[in-house]
Structure formats: structure tokens, C-alpha cells
Amino acid sequence: MFNKFLTLIIFSLLIISTSCSVSKKTEKQGTFINIDDKTIPLTIGTYTKGTSEGIYQADFNPKTGAITNLGFIVNAEQPSFISVTKNREKIYAVSEIDTGKLSVFNKENNGRYQLQQEIETEGSTTCHVTLNNDETLVSVANYRQGSIVVYKVENNRLTKLSSFKHQGSSVHFRQKVPHPHSTYFSKDEKYIYVPDLGTDEIISYPIKEGLPTAGKIALKMNPGDGPRHMAKHPNKNLWYVVGEISSVVWALTPKEDGTFSVVDKQNLLPDGIEGRSTAADIHVSPDGKYLYTSNRGHQKGYHCISVFKVLPFGKLELKGHLTEGINQPRNFTLSPDGQFLLVANQYGKDIIVFKVDKDGMLSLTEYRVEISMPACLKF
């Protein structure tokens, strides 16, 4: 009798436990999502030529890949590139307009942001902003003006430190004048690297006693490559730069003097692709095993994410191209743990989510969020 009673109690407890477990889950889009899973914020810069009003934020679930709770957080004009501080209390946003601007937004208690400071960047079509590691220096690239500007954060405000104007040209019709497209701090923060699409060069600016000084050519790429963006390897002495015009990627080793030696060069597109197609973004996976680039086909062209395996000494091995769901992928990002890759489809008017497989390849998930002209994604 006692054994039957004990068995009944154990069975009842199992039922209660199972019921509690199921109650922690909710069904969404055909997939069960644990509502107790923690989400992380995804901040989104956009072009405001369509219905977008500026900068948005959504919740990203790093276990499932779901994007939820998309909401508008601050008005900004053409914030095509943004940088977010580590504590997410500030957003630095460039305005890609004729008179370039850099805006600083502070987070408020309601989760939205308020404009704290707005600076004209002494240039035109300001297209990129970067913070150094301790967030005391901020650099921007003025694409049309052919210049970069570096600011110092003092007393919670930006003050200008230096500005530099580029010189030169190259062979493509888009390369009649300099076009610095982005800026990056070296791993040791002794240099600022600037790929210039107009001159086919990477310029390095030494930082001496906290002050950027006159630069020099760190690498001369092939005529018509048009360097656009760079990505550093997380644990090796390597950088990668994508050539927008020729759709190539270079693997580079930085030297102590601020220059680079070339490790490898690879094409981003499959053989036989015709029509205009330009490369855009580049990222290395958090574990350093894979490199990803995006390519924009323009109108009816070929849009893709290219996947490379990073070999032991930095060379690249092409693994394949992903095209499903991709339309003008101006920017993309990897989740902090490298399990998902999110693509900002500028003309597709959405953000889509890929699962990163064990071999580095990508599988399109069901998760996407509609948003007008997404241009920059930041975790």
C-alpha cells in the first residue's frame, strides 16, 4: 500500500514539473521560444530617404535568433553608420548628407535617446564613425570631401583634435578624387588605418601622446580595387580589407611602422558574374575561424554573402556564396557569440537572420524584421 502511495506521489510531481516547464515557453511563428531567455539590444542605423525616421532598436535572442520589439529610439538625418558605447549609454551617428554631421545621443530612462551634441564634420557625405577601445577618441570619414577628422572626448563632450585631407586618384570613374570610406584604430592603438576608395590606398596615421599626426601610405592596392571597409582578426596579427569596386578581399599583416605586408588576395564573386556588383561589408567570426563579406548587385545584379575559412597563417579558402533572401546587403553583423549572422537588406527593406553552421556556412532562419532602408547593425 505504501509503495502504491509513493508511486502516486512521484507521478504527480512529474506531472507538475512538466506543466511548469511548458508554461515557461510560448509559441511564436511556429517555433517555441523560452520567454526566460535573455535578449540583447540590436541598434540600427538607417537611410531616411524612405519611411525611416532615424535610429531604431530591437531585442535579439542569441539562443533562437529571433528579433522582437523593434522600436524607434531617436530622430536622426541619414544615420547610415553608428557606433555604440560599451555601456550603451551613448550612440555616435554620422549623417551622410552634403554638409556632414556627427551627432551624439545620450540614453534616457525610458530607453530612448536624446541629442546631446551635434558637430559639423568639416566635410561632405560623412559615412563612418569609430571609437577607440577606452572610448576617449572618435574618428570619422568624410567620403565626398576626402578627409578624416579625429575628436577627443573631454568632460562628456567632443572637441576636435586633428583633421587630414587626402590627395590622389586612380583608374576607375569613381576614383577621380580621394574617398576615405572608414577609419579603424590598430590593435595597439598606435595608428588609425583609413582605406581610401578613391586612391586605392590604406593610409595610416600615427597616434603620438594621444594626438593623431600626419599619415603615410600603409598599403597601395591594385588599381581599381577601391578599398572600403576593414576587419581585424580577434586573436591573430591580421587585418582584412574589402575592395568595393573590384570585389576582392586582401589579407594583411600590420607592421610596427604602420605599414602592411600582403598575405593573400581573393575574389569575392563566383566566376561568370556580369554587370555592376560592388562589395560592402566585412567581418571575422568571433572565434577567428571564418571571414564573411557582402556584395551588392544593384538592381538585377548578384547579391551575396561570401564565406571564407581562415587558414592557419591568415590565408583564405573560399567556402561558398549565400544569396537566399539577400537584397543590397550594405551592412551585416555577427551575434557576439558568433552563432547568428544578421544582414541589413537596404533595398529589401528588412533585416534577416542566418544561423551559422559548424562549418561556417549559413542557413537562413525564419526570423526577419521589416524596416525601411537599414544601413548599419550594432550589438
Check residue 84 and give its pLDDT. 98
Check residue 58 and give its pLDDT. 98
* C-beta of residue 61 within 8 angstroms of C-beta of residue 47: no
Check residue 298 and give its pLDDT. 79
Q: Give pLDDT tens digits for 190-204.
A: 999 999 999 999 999
Q: What are phi and psi of 238, to 5 degrees?
A: -140, 145
Q: Give pLDDT tens digits for 13-62.
A: 443 333 333 322 222 322 333 344 699 999 999 999 999 999 999 999 99
Check residue 162 and give its pLDDT. 96
User: Which residues make Cβ contacts (< 8 Å) with residue 196, sequence separation at least 6?
Assistant: 146, 166, 168, 178, 179, 180, 181, 202, 203, 227
Check residue 47 and give its pLDDT. 97
Q: Which residue, among 367, 373, 370, has the nearest Cα to 30 in the 3D structure?
A: 367
Q: Is residue 42 classed as helix, strand or coil in its secondary structure?
A: strand
DSSP 250-306: EEEEE-TTS-EEEEEEEE-S-TT--S--EEEEEEE-TTSSEEEEEEE--TTS--EEE
Per the structure block, which three cell numbers stand in for 336? 557576439
Amino acid at 136: T
Q: How far are the Cα atoms of 54, 92, 140, 306, 354 from residue 44, in angstroms, in the given order?
A: 9, 12, 18, 22, 17
Distance separating alpha carbons of residues 45 and 53, to the nearest angstrom? 10
Q: Which residues of the chain have pLDDT under 70?
A: 1-37, 299
User: Which residues make Cβ contacts (< 8 Å) with residue 236, sequence separation at least 6?
Assistant: 288, 314
Q: How far are the Cα atoms of 29, 143, 288, 313 from residue 358, in angstroms, in the given order?
A: 25, 38, 13, 21
Task: Give the number of other CB atoms < 10 A from CB of residue 65.
Answer: 21
User: Which residues make Cβ contacts (< 8 Å) with residue 355, sequence separation at least 6?
Assistant: 65, 339, 340, 362, 363, 364, 365
